[in-house]
Chains A and B, each alone.
Chain A
Amino acid sequence: NAGVMQNPRHLVRRRGQEARLRCSPMKGHSHVYWYRQLPEEGLKFMVYLQKENIIDESGMPKERFSAEFPKEGPSILRIQQVVRGDSAAYFCASSPDRVRSTDTQYFGPGTRLTVL
């Protein structure tokens, strides 16, 4: 059973470009979470999605950032007009069940975004 997959693993963009980060959850998981991690810091929640629905995007900047989880295909975190401050590691996690609010989230390897 493959784990959470993210690509690309490393992404370099120049200021003003767009960054697209993809996440495929574990098989059987229908809930996806995106987190951001700055160097030497813990992970900060950004957004929680189910298939075709954004459940909670309270941790995501209102401008330039968007996320989707279509019926088919991976979840996408999109950052438009990137700035140097967007440089960070972005992690995706997935969980199988929302009946219980405390289902374990399993993390992918992350995408390290560098903005030049």
Chain B
Amino acid sequence: GESVGLHLPTLSVQEGDNSIINCAYSNSASDYFIWYKQESGKGPQFIIDIRSNMDKRQGQRVTVLLNKTVKHLSLQIAATQPGDSAVYFCAEIISGTYKYIFGTGTRLKVLA
């Protein structure tokens, strides 16, 4: 289930199930989006990116969906594994700039 509070929202999924992590971005001018995975004590690791001229992009076990109408981004992880446990951040980049604007993050917990 999902919980929101003073701490990061947490998504708990059973190993082998699919995970969907959502992100709402703030600026209509953003034209590049990246999902990062951050494991405890480590730096953000690039997972997948998508540009605004696309609605969907697939990688290995991951898919990113972009809905520009409602400014929404999602990351789908197929057959979630224990190694997927981490905090996931979306980042939006506004056209013509280099500043990444990070979302607050979602903690994914994979239950054995």
Contacts and interface: CB of A to CB of B under 8 A. Distances in A.
A36 B13 CA distance: 29
Interface string A96-111: 0010011111111110
A91 B44 contact: yes
Interface in A64-106: 91, 95, 98, 101-106
B2 to A, nearest CB: 16
Given A40-B7, A41-B104, A101 B98 contact: yes
A6 B6 CA distance: 30
B45 to A, nearest CB: 7
Interface string A12-35: 000000000000000000010101
Interface residues of A, number: 28
A43 B46 contact: no
Interface stretch (B14-22, B63-71, B76-84, B89-97): B89-97
A42 B103 contact: yes
Contacts of B101: 45
Nearest to B52: A102
A103 B91 CA distance: 13
B98 A33 contact: yes
Contacts of A101: 93, 95-98
Contacts of A91: 43-44
Given A101-B96, A101-B97, A102-B93, A42 B105 contact: yes
B92 to A, nearest CB: 11
5 contacts: A41-B104, A41-B105, A43-B44, A45-B101, A110-B42
Interface of B: 6-8, 31-32, 34, 36, 41-46, 49, 51, 89, 93, 95-105
